[in-house]
Structure 1
Amino acid sequence: MLAFLLHAGASSKLPQGKAMEADEKTGHNPAIFFDILGTYMVVYRQRFANMMNNSVIMQSLLIWTTSLLMGGYSAVISLALSCLTVILMWTCSLTFSALVAFVLPFASSTPVPFVSSPWLVVGLFAAPALLGALAGQHLGYLILKTYLSKVISERMVNLSPVTQANLAKLDAERWLYKAGLVQWLILLMIGNYFKIGSSYLALVWLVSPAFSYGLLEATLSPARIPKPLKTLTLLVGLSVPFLISAGIFIQLAGTIIGIAVRFDRNPGSTPEWLGNVILAMYIAVIICLTLVYLLSYVHISGAKLPIILATCTMFGLSLIAVLSGIVPPFTEDTSRAVNVVHVVNTTKYGTNLEPDSYISLFSTTPGKLTKEAEQIGEGFVCGREKILDFVTFSVQYGCWSHQDAGSGWSESDIPTLHVDSDIKGYDRITQVSIDTKVSTRWSLKINTKEIMDFNIKDNSEELVPLGDKNSIKGWHIIQFSGGKKSPTRFNLTLLWAKNSAKLTHMKDPHLLLKLRTDVDRLTPKTETVLRKLPSWCSLFGKSTSPMTLAFLTSLPVNF
């Protein structure tokens, strides 16, 4: 790869003069593109998007200013109360969906019961989010209607109380619709200011409903008599936005579900409810953004009760399907990713203690492994008592079994970290020889709180030179993967930090080096466990994951 990059870099022609200026201008004027139903592609530049967005924003602000000036003080209050309904809608929707997402891992056998059946998220998260949005907006609607009733009763004293109440309802309905326009206008202004490419969504969701309302509903007369919103206004206003954005929103939901399955880099390190909460919050946001216009029609249409019953029924059926196991969380086609590794931990081998040999079972998919361990048998114990550091990551929760784990490896396979020399003085330098034995794939972690710099050599060349070292949480990680003829002996030169004497008294970290060597070998115990692995599980290994046999060894700071 290095040879290819050097050749490509030497033979490439970099732009110069006007060509470079053109490239720079293009970089400041990137393309914005999106498709419609995967069939038509729309492409335009950021400069055109800025002009279009600015034009729509200025026209919207001008229309709103004129409308409020003509409507007077009551119009300003009505706008503020209608915006309050949007805030209450967001608050209740996010709260309802997040509450379900938080409780679900405690009620279900797995935190992500919707993996094999993504449609479950409609009942589990979308239904509570819609119910919360309706509840929050209805609360704001009641406050807005109370204020409008007072205003109408003062202006139209010749009308009967029943007529005044009906007019207040109709006027509140219109203000709720217009509050949706304000919501998308604010989002368009934010997206345009930060030049966010996806601001075209806010533009479409603002322009189309605004055009529909202006064409079919709006009037500049401040003394107008409120009328019911036309269904045609909703259909005309929302057809184009839904056509453009529905596919994107659904695909992104599927992506979040996929991320939730591989959420833990360090298995067991994050709360089980976190992935659910992220997905639930996303669904609640989409509902609040897209249904803000539709919900404005609900409050005086008599549809509240059917919607409440439908959402509660959908949520109840989805919850029953999850709790009863009718819809399993994992299947053979959509399986749970697990790792089965025979671990030989030789960290204490230098003190004449036997290596700790056991089978480790862990998963990057959130949730416990008790069901899997029960089906496998073989003496597995699950919990957080045995934190396992695999150098490139750590297992905070997993299962392990020492039963019949002493065969399939020999002491000749155990890697070694041997201190060849340790020159102490003003500049302390330590030479360490590394022998990975049968392994040509290994990972090394170096304590950068103790070591200022280092280099690594094999028998023929320098693999890692001195200088430009970075670290993550006080450790520098090296990963090596070679072929069959790859070297297995390396020389590591460590240059200690000036204040290393103070750091050696720290309780954590107390190790100088951590080494993991991987061997692609099935021990008898590992083979047995893999044979008994449930059908809904499958092996999944990242580039940083260990192979089926891994040796762990380390070198303490006070060697």
Structure 2
Amino acid sequence: MVILGLAVHYVQSIRLPRPLLAEEAGKLGFSEERAMGHLKVLTSFGPKPVGSENLDHALEYIVRVLESIKSKANSRVFMEIERFRAKPGRNRLQGGLFKGKTLAYADLSHVLVRLSSKHSDDAEDNAILVSSHVDTVFTSSGGGDCGSCVSSMLELVRALSNIAQGFKHSVVFLFNAGEEEGLDGAHSFITQHHWNSSIRAFIDLEAMGAGGKSKLFQAGPDKWLVDVFAQTARRPSANIVAQDVFQAGLIKSATDFQVYREIAGLSGLDFAYVENGAVYHTQNDAFKLVRAGSLQHLGDNILPFLVEVASSPELAHLGTSQSSKLEMVYFDVLGQYMVTFTRDFAKLLYSSVLIQSLLLFVGSMIRADQFSLPALLLAAFGVILFWIFSLSSAVAVAALLPRLCTYSVPYLAHPILAVGLFGAPAVFGGVIGHTLGYKLLRSYLVRSIPNSASVTAETEKFMFKAVFLMWLLVFGLGVWANAGSSYIAMAWLVIPSIAYGLKESSLSKHQAPRQLSSWTLLLGLPVPIVLTSDIFLSLPNVLISNLVRFDRHPGGGPPWVGNAVIAVMISAILCLSLSYLMPYIHRDPFVRSGAGVWISLSTIFIFLVSLSVVSYELVPAFTKDVARGTYVVHVIEANMDKLSSESYISVSFTTPGGLGKEVQSLAESGFTCGGTERPDFVTFGVRKGCEKPSDLDEDLWQGRPNLTILSDHTVGDQRTTSVLLKTMSSNRWSLSIDTDRIQALHVDIITDETEMLVPKDDIAGIDGVHVLQFASGKNGPHVFNIELVWQKGISAEKSSKELLKLRTDLNVLTPDAAKTLKLLPDFCTLFGKSTSPYTLAYLSRLSL
């Protein structure tokens, strides 16, 4: 099982195609050599947050490359290049990461390309969009996220510029800016640009790591796009399990796919790199980590797909749908073939299999001996004990690990250690639980079966059949939840059941029972292993990588929670995949002690070795490349009510766990570390970190924002307050509004000609707070008028509770913040995201 599983994982996720040189790919093919050349240049600019000169340089480079491609394009291909500067706008998504927020933007610049055939009169009426983002968080040069995507797009444009003469439709490429600030780039294009009405479908390219295979992890709702990808992709990598995990919120992230689906109602495909996920949004997301063959894999799949879609009349008939449901089931087999079917067909298939399985079980129980039903129930109880002991053993280790090690997640840089730390205890506990269930069942059968010679064989078979019940339950829950990934449970239920029927079924009640045949496993398990090994091995690795940014409110949860998530995941995968093998371990073919004892001793040994490695720090918990996510912020609090100020350095960590070695030097430098109720960064709060007062010089004080009440009046039972906000030199800010008192919001940009940013609209909040996030280019506005409409019946009297909380950010490293960064070891790296502050943040509050 292990060998086959690892081989499948290697073929499906690890093995990459050979990168093609420019001369090998030719004019019509995709060359990774050319794409990597673009990536090297784009990463050389450094971090490219919205409003930075680095982003301007990257966009200018993209335009230069596109102009060069245009000059060499096929004479029968019409290639249009456009720089697009978006008007101020606001984006209010209904679900996911940005629910309960208003995402506003201004002065965003994008680059667009449209390729069409000069010999097709109506080619521009219908288009497929290929979209990715040029901007990065302020901490990353974007080797993976998403320089790898943009570089691949440039090479796709080059190839298509020599192919598109036969297209019936056009292909639009969007190199957008603003994705990292709340998907603003995609929103501004799809709501403002004059090409938006021609878009019939889209591809979104993303990265939640650096390199590896570009995996399809969200798709639909239209079936045709998925079918075309399945037919044309040379090396498909796709699985609906990733979609189920992503949409369930286990991975806290969002992509432009949500905007195109929710705002425009388009059908599309969402691809992402997930290898090296621990470097996501840090300085380690660099060019050097993008493995050779990564970009070639993307190009080999996307290029033929685009050629087919742009040449097919079907594209023109794709409609829009506001439904959030993605109605396709899809998965690849060994990275060579794709299986696709609709949810409607899945319901029929899954329901049919479920009903037939239930009928078979009920029928077999009716025909069986009178002792069979109690025996099957006892066997099922044994499987329950198997799960309970396995999960509890792994979770117990997860809870103890922070007490035994310096860091709560000591395996982050070496994920294989998680197998020894959590997998070994899970197997050990599972063997104990299963053995208890086996002995209970055997003792019952000894009393119930006259022929004692057949007791061992009957015990094995009832324990084996109980696993069918387990998978039947898992399958039934998946069907009930309408999970597309229920095909996994179906495979583990149906194929072994058929093998069992072929090898184990008795033709007569008088036939003497025999031990389970090894051929039952050899026939029953290969297909489920091939279908699920890559998922079972990849998913824990992806979730372990996410531990770098697991703590969304630094220090806000127990240090063992992240470990518990990984422990439960690994334990559940082992319980599912090893369940059919467990009935075999109670045999005594060679030694008197049986296989269970030797398995138990082996797992104890593996666990103790792994625990020794992490507790004695024989390998580091973090490395320079797989570092601990860190916030270092120079905070200036400018209290508008008390007309006072405070300046300090705040250090906190997104990677869960206590404050370890990295804070020793901070403590020696005057930092106070431990629990704290501040600062409140509007979008999140630090619960445990380190702080140190910092001198406030005049230049920093001059950069503080200003909140001024322009008017506050009540007409009838309706109170309205107007506030003037001056953000000074900041182009990025977040404002939280108390929705217990405020029901509607209206924001104007104050310039020579006042522009509306947020129309007057009711606002909804999460936990009584609505957050307005704003980001703009370097020429964006700095003065805003905010009109607040109060809930009716609210008294006009003053209240001590803050009505507004404001954070303005500057991408400036102050001397004190720079000194703090030098105090931290190499394994601490700044982490950035749309809701986190830059290295200089001003905090203001306004009460009424």
Q: TM-score, normalised by structure 2?
A: 0.60
Alignment partner for residue 136 of structure 1, among 407, 424, 433?
433
- Structure 1 gaps of 5+ residues are 157-163
Paired amino acid for 1:440: N
Partner of 1:346: 638
The equivalent of 1:321 in structure 2 is 613
Are residue 467 (structure 1) and residue 761 (structure 2) matched? yes
Aligned equivalents of 1:53 and 1:436: distance in 2? 56
Is 1:437 matched with 2:734? no
1:551: how far off?
Answer: 1.0
Q: Calculate percent identity across the aligned residue pairs.
A: 39
In 1, the alpha carbon distance for the partners of 2:390 and 2:796 equals 53
For 1:335 and 1:188, the matched residues in 2 are separated by 39
Task: Note the C-alpha offset of 1:378.
Answer: 2.5
- Aligned-partner Cα distance in 2 for 1:322–1:28: 44
Q: Distance in 1 between matches of 2:767 and 2:797?
A: 15
The answer to whether the 8 A contact 2:676-2:689 is kept is no
Aligned mate of 1:358, from 645, 648, 651: 648
Q: 1:401 aligns with which of 649, 668, 692?
A: 692
Q: For residues 689 and 724 of structure 2, what CA distance do their matches in structure 1 show?
A: 33
Deviation of residue 54 (structure 1)? Answer: 4.3
Q: Distance in 1 between matches of 2:484 and 2:353?
A: 16
Read off the aligned partner of 2:469 and give its amino acid letter.
V
- Cα deviation for residue 288 of structure 1 reads 1.5
- 2:641/2:846 contact within 8 Å kept: no
- Decide which of 291, 298, 315 is 2:578's aligned counterpart: 291
Q: Secondary structure at the match of 2:795?
A: helix
**Among residues 796, 803, 827, which one is paired with 1:512 in the alignment?**
803
For residues 674 and 465 of structure 2, the distance between their equivalents in structure 1, rounded to whole angstroms, comes to: 54
Measure the CA separation in 2 of the matches of 1:420 and 1:58. Answer: 68
Deviation of 1:22 after TM superposition, in Å, equals: 9.8
1:79 is the counterpart of 2:376: yes
The amino acid across from 1:393 in the alignment is: F
Cα RMSD for the two superposed structures: 2.6
Q: Is the 8 A contact 2:719 2:790 kept in 1?
A: yes
Q: Distance in 2 between matches of 1:413 and 1:441?
A: 13
Shift in CA distance, 143/46, structure 1 to aligned 2, threshold 3 Å: same
1:172 to 428, 450, 459: 459
Structure 1: distance between partners of 2:834 and 2:766 = 18
* Residue 264 of structure 1, aligned match among 543, 551, 556: 551
Question: How many aligned positions are there?
Answer: 537
Gaps of 5+ in 2: 1-186, 201-264, 267-315, 589-593
Whether 1:374 aligns to 2:664 is yes
Q: Which has the larger radius of gyration?
A: 1
| Residues 1:94 and 2:391 are matched in the alignment | yes
DSSP 3-state at the match of 2:371: helix
CA contact (8 A) 1:216 1:233 kept: yes
- SS at 1:297 equivalent: helix
Deviation at 1:328, TM superposition (A): 1.3
1:495–1:49 distance in 2 versus 1, CA, 3 Å: closer
Q: Which residue of 1 aligns with 2:822?
A: 531
Q: Secondary structure at the match of 1:129?
A: helix
| Mean CA deviation greater in 544-553 or 442-451 | 442-451
Which piece of structure 1 moves more, 459-468 or 419-428?
419-428
Deviations along 1:88-135, whole A, 9 cap, x unmatched? 111111111111111212222122111101011111111111111111
Q: Partner of 1:484 in structure 2?
A: 778
8 Å Cα contact 2:560-2:657 kept in structure 1: no
Deviations 1:440-479 (A, max 9, x none): 2211122222223232222221212212312122222111
For 1:2, the equivalent position in structure 2 comes to 188
State which drifts further: 62-71 or 335-344.
62-71
Any conservation in 1 of the 2:705–2:726 contact (CA below 8 Å)? yes
> For 1:346, what is the secondary structure of its paired residue?
strand
Aligned equivalent of 2:713, options 403, 423, 442: 423
Distance 2:324 2:647 in 1: 56
Distance 1:314 1:503 in 2: 67
Change (3 A) 1:339 1:198: same
The code of the aligned residue for 1:247 comes to D
Q: Indicate which of 198, 202, 227 corresponds to 2:485.
A: 198
* Contact 1:440-1:482 within 8 A present in 2 as well: yes
Q: Per the alignment, in what secondary structure is the counterpart of residue 622 of structure 2?
A: coil
Using structure 1 for the length normalisation, give the TM-score: 0.89
254-263 vs 272-281, greater mean Cα deviation:
254-263
Return the alpha-carbon distance in structure 1 between the equivalents of residues 469 and 744 of structure 2.
57
Distance 1:318 1:436, change over 3 A: same
**SS of structure 1 residue aligned to 2:431:** helix
Cα distance, 1:248 vs structure 2: 0.7
1:544 equivalent to 2:835? Answer yes
Counterparts of 1:391 and 1:192, CA distance in 2: 40
Q: Does residue 601 of structure 2 align to residue 309 of structure 1? A: yes
